[in-house]
Amino acid sequence: MEIWDKQPGESQKAYAWFCRYRDYGVDRSIAKVLQKYIGKASSAVLSRWSVKYDWVKRAETYDEHLEKERRKEYEAHNLEMGKRHIQQLCRARVLLIAGMTSSDCDDAGIGPRYSAC
């Protein structure tokens, strides 16, 4: 179980409000959540739940988790893009050296994944 998951003893209603708080983003506050959901809950209740269930720490930990996942995805994307660029450059090199056209390469079985490097 992750810290941002529903905690033992936390009611479904308290957890739902935590999720609203968590999802508000890095500039979150109970006041901003209440402003967004006017008349849906009281400041006193949300403040009590926030302290009891450590909303600030849970939300910050969730933010760190999301940032870590974004970095992983970004790095994987960049690595894949780098591999594609190398493949394209190698193919272009082969075409230039051999004086071949793209259709010549297709006829010779040199596809886009060909690597002469």
**Using H for helix, E for strand and C for coil, what is the string for 41-84?**
CCHHHHHHHHHHCCHHHHHHHHHHHHHHHHHHHHHHHHHHHHHH
pLDDT for residue 100 is more than 90: no
Q: Tell me if 59 is assigned to some domain.
A: no
Are 87 and 112 contacting, i.e. CB atoms less than 8 angstroms apart? Answer: yes
**pLDDT score, position 112:** 57
Chain segment 38-88, per-residue pLDDT in tens:
888 899 999 999 999 999 999 999 999 999 999 999 888 888 998 888 888
Q: Report the chain's mean pLDDT, rounded to a whole number.
A: 87
Residues 46 and 78 occupy one common structural domain: no
Tell me, yes or no, if the pTM score tops 0.75: no
What pLDDT sits at residue 29? Answer: 96
Domain identity same for 78 and 44:
no
Both 109 and 76 in one domain: the answer is: yes
- Is residue 90 domain-resident? yes
CA dist 7 and 27 (Å) reads: 23
**Any domain includes 66:** no
Query: For residue 115, what are the domain limits?
Result: 71-117
110 within domain boundaries? yes
